[in-house]
Amino acid sequence: MESGTALDAGGVDGRFLAVDEQGVGLRATWRPERGFVNLSLWRGDQCVETFHLTPGEISDLVGFLVSRLATLAPPAVGARLRVVEDPAAVPPGGRVPTAKRRGTVAAVRSGVAEHLRRAAERIAP
């Protein structure tokens, strides 16, 4: 499907559609009320095969895809993140006290945890 398209078909049931240049496609439809994800293969506007996967089976499939995709990613060249400190907050010795760094890290973790908690509340089991 290199020259095909992929799109989020939207909707409450959370559809994803990927179609190649010949009109052959894969559609995934999340069906939480039924306890499965429906994967279907399409040729043009005709469904030619359907698979019902449990959350565990989908988890295994996604894990497989992620692990294979990870082998294609180029290795990191160097550190991508670095600490940028406020020059006014750095003492004359040049180092920020450890306690101050811990407080900043704790604040960031707390903020991330709050965002994750709110996102989890929006997801229906």
Question: 92 and 61, same structural domain?
Answer: no
Question: 53 and 26, same structural domain?
Answer: yes
11-36: buried (b, 16+ CB within 10 Å) or exposed (e) per residue?
eeeeebbebeeeeebbbbbbeeeeeb
Query: 9: domain range?
Result: 1-72
CB neighbourhood size of 37 (10 A): 23
The whole-number pLDDT of residue 40 equals 93
Instruction: Tell me if 66 is assigned to some domain.
Output: yes
The whole-number pLDDT of residue 9 equals 46
Task: Provide the greatest CA pair distance for the chain.
Answer: 71
Question: 95 and 56, same structural domain?
Answer: no
Q: What is the mean pLDDT of residues 25-34?
A: 88
Q: How far apart are CA 69 and CA 67, in angstroms?
A: 6
| pLDDT, tens digit (0-9, with 9 covering 90-100), for 37-62 | 999 999 888 999 999 999 999 899 99
Mark which of 49, 72, 95 sits at the end of a domain: 72
The whole-number pLDDT of residue 90 equals 61
What average pLDDT does the structure give for the chain? 75
β strands within 11-92, DSSP E: 15-19, 24-31, 36-43, 46-53
DSSP run (H or E) holding 55: helix 55-72
| pLDDT, tens digit (0-9, with 9 covering 90-100), for 84-108 | 666 666 666 666 555 555 667 777 7
Instruction: Tell me if 114 is assigned to some domain.
Output: yes
- 16 pLDDT band (50/70/90 cuts)? confident
The whole-number pLDDT of residue 84 equals 65
